[in-house]
Amino acid sequence: MEILIHINKRVKHSPEIYMPRLDLWKFYTESASTSIGRKFCIVYIEMAFEREEKGSIASDLLINISKVPAQSQGIILRL
């Protein structure tokens, strides 16, 4: 948790820092990903989405959206 808190402090208010959205999404959608790992991924996917051109990545997020939990579907659709 301390590492994630440190990362959040550094990254959240620095939009120039690149967020690996596609890698996070791949990890999130992998069947071997843990529940806690997915929860952290969705937070960082949201951060990445705020930093990028929305139209260019929307299709990536919508692919296989039916396979993700309902709560995450709502977050992705809101993005």
The token pair at 69 is: 């939990």
Average pLDDT over residues 12-31: 84
Answer yes or no: pTM beyond 0.75: no
Where do the domains of the chain lie?
2-78
Q: Please name which of 77, 69, 78, 8 lies closest in space to residue 39, comparing C-alpha atoms.
A: 69
Distance from C-alpha of 21 to C-alpha of 58, rounded to nearest angstrom: 11
Calculate the average pLDDT of the chain: 81
Buried b / exposed e over 2-12, threshold 16 CB at 10 Å, is: eeeeeeeeebe
pLDDT tens-place string over residues 40-73: 888 888 888 877 766 666 676 777 777 778 888 8
